[in-house]
């Protein structure tokens, strides 16, 4: 097993990374029953195809990806102990350039992928949608362009998706609403358009939704009042208009929200403090909101979340 960099939980506070880390420990310390049937060979082929699409590897991150060792010992690759299939692919901050091969969709045992902070370009392969075991997809801080593939709905076990700080365009696909286990969605700093769709309200498992710094336009749908587990809601700088829907105050676990730098109108609910007892941070500057700030809530300043 290759956990030379027990990363993220130590070096970053990203919730997805921490969950992925916990997952790796879980998967590598347990055995999962599975059939063989040539799957190992397919995993090796897929990894070599992924390598072949990487045009720059300045730190030699993929040097060990050769036939002198089993692929389970390749850097960044973690296999299940018993079935020896790839369960986790983690290549973080390696300066890798190139595109992500569609063959990634053949790594059918994958539970987690983290390619955080590289220079992957081009489209997100729709073959990702074959990875129905995938729980975490962390592709933030790359140069991925094109749309979010609708096939992502095939990743029916997905709990966390982080595509932030890429160059993605188009709108949030409606198929994302089939992902009933999603808890963390991070799309901030892309070039997404097409509004905040009403169907997002169907993903009632959402705890964190971060999509600041896109060109969504339109208003905030009242269906987001169905996000009963919502704790973090960040939609600053998205060109949103209309008013803040009152249904949002029904999400009583909400701890932080930012709607800064939009064109929102109307006023805050006067009883916001009572309705959102867990609120610790709120950002509303740069809007056209009117009316008094509620007296039952002392607005604390909160670190601007965007760099």
Ligand X SMILES: *[C@@H]1O[C@H](CO)[C@@H](O)[C@H](O)[C@H]1NC(C)=O
CB of 233 to ligand X, least distance (A): 12
Identity of the residue, 31 or 167, whose beta carbon is nearer to ligand X in the bound complex = 167
CB of 19 to ligand X, least distance (A): 8
| Contacts (Cβ under 8 Å, ≥6 apart) of 296 | 271, 272, 273, 274
Q: Which of 279, 178, 194 is nearest to 238 (CA)?
A: 194
Identity of the residue, 99 or 177, whose beta carbon is nearer to ligand X in the bound complex = 177
Q: Using the rule CB under 6 A, is 69 a contact of ligand X?
A: yes
Q: Using the rule CB under 6 A, is 52 a contact of ligand X?
A: no
State how far the Cα of 38 lies from the Cα of 84, in Å rounded to an integer: 11
Residue of 106, 114, 190, 251 that binds ligand X (CB under 6 A)? 106
What mask of x and - would describe binding to ligand X in positions 132 to 171, judged by CB under 6 A?
A: --------xx--------xx----------x-xx------
State how far the Cα of 125 lies from the Cα of 288, in Å rounded to an integer: 40
Question: Residues 246 to 275: which contact ligand X by CB under 6 A?
Answer: 246-247, 250
Answer left, alpha or beta for residue 129, where phi above 0 means left and psi between -120 and 50 means alpha: alpha
Residue of 153, 202, 205, 267 that binds ligand X (CB under 6 A)? 202
Identity of the residue, 145 or 239, whose beta carbon is nearer to ligand X in the bound complex = 239
Q: Contacts with ligand X: how many residues (CB under 6 A)?
A: 44
Q: Using the rule CB under 6 A, is 42 a contact of ligand X?
A: yes
Q: Which residues bind ligand X (CB under 6 A)?
A: 14-16, 42, 45, 63-64, 66, 68-69, 93, 95, 102-103, 105-106, 116-117, 126-127, 129-130, 140-141, 150-151, 162, 164-165, 174, 177, 184, 186, 199, 202, 208, 217, 219, 225, 241-242, 246-247, 250
């Amino acid at each position: 097993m290759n956990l030379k960099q027990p990363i993220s939980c130590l070096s970053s506070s990203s919730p997805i990374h921490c969950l992925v880390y916990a997952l790796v420990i879980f998967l590598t310390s347990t055995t999962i029953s599975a059939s063989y049937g040539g799957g190992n060979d397919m995993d090796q082929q897929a990894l070599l195809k992924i390598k072949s699409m990487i045009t720059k590897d300045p730190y030699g991150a993929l040097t060990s990806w050769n036939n002198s060792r089993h692929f389970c010992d390749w850097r960044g690759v973690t296999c299940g102990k018993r079935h020896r299939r790839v369960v986790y692919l983690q290549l973080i901050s390696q300066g890798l350039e190139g595109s992500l091969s569609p063959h990634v969709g053949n790594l059918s045992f994958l539970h987690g992928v983290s390619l955080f902070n590289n220079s992957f370009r081009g489209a997100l392969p729709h073959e990702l949608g074959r990875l129905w075991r995938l729980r975490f997809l962390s592709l933030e801080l790359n140069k991925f362009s094109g749309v979010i593939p609708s096939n992502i709905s095939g990743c029916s076990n997905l709990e966390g998706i982080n595509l932030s700080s890429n160059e993605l365009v188009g709108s949030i696909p409606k198929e994302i609403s089939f992902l009933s286990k999603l808890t963390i969605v991070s799309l901030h700093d892309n070039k997404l358009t097409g509004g905040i769709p009403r169907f997002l309200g169907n993903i009632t498992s959402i705890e964190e939704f971060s999509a600041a710094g896109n060109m969504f336009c339109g208003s905030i749908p009242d269906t987001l009042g169905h996000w009963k587990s919502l704790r973090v809601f960040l939609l600053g700088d998205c060109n949103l208009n209309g008013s803040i829907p009152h249904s949002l105050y029904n999400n009583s676990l909400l701890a932080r929200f930012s709607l800064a730098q939009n064109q929102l109108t109307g006023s805050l609910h006067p009883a916001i403090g009572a309705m959102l007892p867990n609120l610790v941070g709120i950002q509303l500057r740069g809007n056209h909101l009117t009316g008094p700030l509620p007296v039952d809530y002392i607005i604390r300043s909160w670190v601007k979340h965007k760099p």
